[in-house]
Amino acid sequence: MVRSFGEIVYGIVELIRANFKVTDSLDERLVAGWVQSARAELLKQRLAEPGRPNEHWVQDLGAVEMEPVPSSIYGVSNKFILRSTQPIPRVIYTKKKGHVFTRIGPADRSSRTWNLVSQERALYSGNGKFNKNDVFVFLDDGYICLTSRNNLHKLIEAINVKGVFQNPIEAYNFRYTEEHDWDSEYPISDDIVDAIKVKVINENFNFVLRPMDDKRPNSMDNLTNPAPGEEQPE
């Protein structure tokens, strides 16, 4: 089921209003921040498990433009290196899967994909019998870089990148000229939406139900937030 960001945010707002007594108006932007944070944390947990990412979590950055850069900035000479013209949004990272890209390859999506490797491996590999015709990909502070032994990548102007991104709104804005709004599609699956609702209610909403208050008659800031059942100090 395709869901918009606004549908998820307002669904949680209405759920809160229907089940809890909230005297103050609830800032939807605050809830939106909770949704973003909860999604990233929950997806990282799911991605740590075996198996491929759910297709509903994946976003396509479209054509990522590349440009040549001097190899000397990476401490090597006589290497032709392409780097993306701008850093891409951060992808979710897990210890087992690493950076969760589902595709890095030519803009022609029917073509073979390339594997992401460490910078050192990318710069010094390609001398073996079976990898001399490989294109190596590495990350440099958010930029995607390409290199190969025989400069097979030299004429590449753009590549295609897909993955599970930390902030899906940033990923959307990277690809499209129009800014993401709350009616835009949000990359999520139904089970994660349900988990987000539970997480937001259990972990983020307590301070809205019990707003901090300073009742001590002194010049100090004595804001406290009592646990359920405890009295606020006078």
SS3 readout for 62-90: EEEEEEEECHHHHCCCCCCEEEECCCCCC
pLDDT above 70 for 59: yes
Take residue 74 and report the two structure tokens written for it.
């990476």
pLDDT at 84 over 70: yes
Would you say residue 222 has pLDDT above 80? no
Closest Cα partner for 199 from 38, 22, 10, 68?
38
Q: Tell me if 68 sits within 8 A of 84, measured CB to CB.
A: no
Asked which of 7-11, 69-73, 219-223 is least confident by mean pLDDT, the reply is 219-223
For 99, which DSSP code?
E
Checking if the pLDDT of 25 tops 60, the result is yes
State how far the Cα of 46 lies from the Cα of 141, in Å rounded to an integer.
25
- Which pLDDT score is estimated for 201? 86
Tokens 């900035």, residue located: 73
In the beta sheet, which residues pair with residue 138?
145
The upper half-sphere exposure of residue 157, i.e. CA atoms within 13 Å in the direction of its Cβ, equals: 0
Cα angle 80, 88, 75; round to 5:
35
Query: Tens of pLDDT along 96-124?
Result: 999 999 999 999 887 789 989 999 999 98
Higher per-residue confidence, 18 vs 150: 150
What integer pLDDT is reported at residue 213 of this predicted model? 45
Question: For residue 14, how far is the Cα from the chain centroid?
Answer: 26
Q: What is the DSSP string of 148-195?
A: ETT-TTTT--EEEEEE-BS-HHHHHHHH-SSPP-TTSEE---HHHHHH
Is the pLDDT confidence value at 153 over 60?
A: yes
Separation CA 234–CA 231 (nearest Å): 9
- What average pLDDT score do residues 2-30 get? 81
Residue 161: per-residue pLDDT: 97
Q: Quick check: 48 and 94 in contact, CB under 8 A?
A: yes
- The structural domains of the chain, with segments of one domain joined by +, span 3-54+182-209, 59-163
Pairwise pLDDT comparison (125 vs 11), residue with the higher score: 11
